[in-house]
A and B are shown apart, each in its own frame.
Chain A
Amino acid sequence: MKLRDLVVIRLGVIINLVIGQVVAALLLPLFLDAVGTILVAALVGPWAAITVGLVSQVLNAVLSGNFSWLPFGVIQVIIALYAWLAARVGAFRRPWTAAPAGLVLGVIAGSTAAPIAYHLFGGATAGGVMAVTTALRAVGMPLELAVRISSVSTDMLDKTVAFVMVSLILRALPNQLRARFPAHA
């Protein structure tokens, strides 16, 4: 792997880890913890993006102390590959093409996360998702379905916004930077 790719991967991981701070300041019901992965997929390619995703997952565990969430790393791989394909077909060229592409990723990522959350964690995962799951279960929905619905619905909004953000970032790139990422140009 080239030195430049390593530095861009580090940048992607740092964006994944820091953007939550901005989201929290705005009190938005989002994670946006894959914006760096999606961006690097579009700028560099699938391998770099997968690395961003997996390193983010490990460092998230190191920072939070919660290593039990490591199995969700597989979602990061899916996001990286999907975002790379989306970039190849030009989904990021406009915000309104990026939004539906992100929505579809939300369904895919949420559907993948649901069985992990159900089988490995019995539905007890991250804050917002967990609250929705509990509410649905309390009104009598079977647990497996409750986990799936809460997981998919939160991911749909999150990934839609993430894709729109990446589309805006790519559109805002200055010429000199754009020219430095042939995969994107």
Chain B
Amino acid sequence: MIGYVAGRSWLHRAHPYTPLALAAAVLLLSFAFHTPVPVWLMVAAALIMALATGTIREVLGPALLLATPTWLVLLVLHGLLGEPPKAPFGPFLLSEPGVARALVLGGRIGAIVIAFLAALATVSPARLVDGMTARGIPFGPIFLLVSTLTFLPRTRERAARILEAQQARGLRIGGSPLARFRALVPLVLPLVLGALAEVDEQVLALETRGATSGVRRTPLDPPADPAGQRVLRLGLVVVVVVAWAARLTNRI
């Protein structure tokens, strides 16, 4: 995860929905196209987006880390082991339809990964919460998407503490496969039971602070959403709908 990277680009200053809409459009269009050229145009679009946000350096490394293993497997599965006709490529014989398919599949993954990493790098979680709150999104969805992520580090820390605590009680981490399966019990059960035991306190804390007040929550610093960006997002919806209509009617 690269997460938010502070910056001053246009997309950093945009309403948080805008970069997310761009990334979503790249995802939906990538799945709509099924030939190499338009798919790799999507990769180019994602790269331009990353360049525009000024986070290309932070994005490209993790993107390659995610995509490269997949690309290699695609090359082996479809290129080397693919259907004939095959053509020589250096010392290898590569399947022609297989390579075309690998380019489509690999391009999709590249485009999606780059676009979303760039979007995540430009959307500050705090602004996203304020943006959603200002839009009147209810507490539930915001809570599930955001509070889960903020609770994660503490829970990971707790899992690590439990691992240490059980080792300090003589539990060996290692040994035979059976022993390792059995060790799941003293490691997983305390994590789950401890979390369940805290549910009531968490509910009380939210309830007493008005999470269910039913009133529209006041955003502390609502991001501006100029008309131009709303038009842009609407335009993206139209493009995606048109592309999928064309795809489903076999026109592309």
A-side interface residues toward B, CB under 8 Å? 1, 3-4, 6-11, 13-15, 17-19, 21-23, 25-28, 35, 39, 51, 55, 58-59, 61-68, 70, 120-125, 127, 130, 133-134, 137-138, 143, 161, 165, 168-169, 172-174, 177, 180
B221 within 8 A of A: no
Q: B127 to chain A: closest CB distance in Å?
A: 16
Q: Is the interface of B mostly helix, strand, loop or mixed?
A: helix
Beta-carbon contact of A13 and B77 below 8 Å: no
Asked whether A14 and B63 contact (CB < 8 A) given A58-B145, A133-B77, the answer is no
Find A134's partner among B73, B195, B212 (CB 8 Å cutoff).
B73
Q: Identify which of A28, A124, A172 gathers the most chain B CB atoms within 10 Å of its CB.
A: A124
By a beta-carbon cutoff of 8 Å, the part of chain B in contact with chain A is: 1-2, 23, 27, 31, 62-63, 66, 69-70, 73-74, 76-78, 81, 101-102, 105-106, 108-109, 112-113, 115-117, 120, 140, 143-145, 147-149, 151-152, 155-156, 159-160, 163, 173-174, 177, 180-181, 183-185, 187-189, 191-193, 195-197, 199-200, 202-203, 206-207, 211-212
**B192 contacts A15, C-beta separation under 8 Å:** yes
The answer to whether A124 and B105 have CB atoms under 8 Å apart is: yes
With both chains docked as a complex, state the minimum distance between the C-beta of B145 and any C-beta of chain A, in angstroms. Answer: 7
**Contact, CB under 8 Å: A124 / B2:** no
Closest CB pairs A-B (n = 5): A124-B73, A67-B116, A122-B105, A68-B112, A26-B180
- Asked whether, in the complex, the Cβ of A18 is within 8 Å of the Cβ of B66, the reply is no
Contact B184 A26 (CB under 8 A): yes
Residue of A nearest to B201 (CB): A7
In the bound complex, how far is the Cα of B112 from the Cα of A8, in angstroms? 31
Decide if B140 touches A1 in the complex (CB within 8 Å): yes
Q: Which residue of B lies closest to A170 (CB)?
A: B192
Q: Which residues of B sit under 8 angstroms from A66, Cβ to Cβ?
A: 66, 109, 112-113
CB distance from B62 to the nearest CB of A (A): 6
User: In the bound complex, how far is the Cα of B203 from the Cα of A21, in angstroms?
Assistant: 27
- Tell whether A124 pairs with B74 under 8 Å between CB atoms, given A13-B148, A22-B184: yes
Q: Smallest Cβ distance from A21 to chain B, in angstroms?
A: 5
Query: B159 touching A55 by the CB < 8 A rule?
Result: no
Question: B199 — nearest CB in chain A belongs to which residue?
Answer: A7
Given A7-B202, A22-B159, A35-B188: A64 touches B193 (CB 8 Å cut-off): no
Contacts of A58 in B (CB 8 A): 145
Q: Given A15-B191, A55-B148, decide whether A122 and B78 contact each other with a Cβ distance below 8 A.
A: yes
Within the complex, which residue of A8, A14, A177 is in contact with B148, where a contact is CB–CB below 8 Å? A14
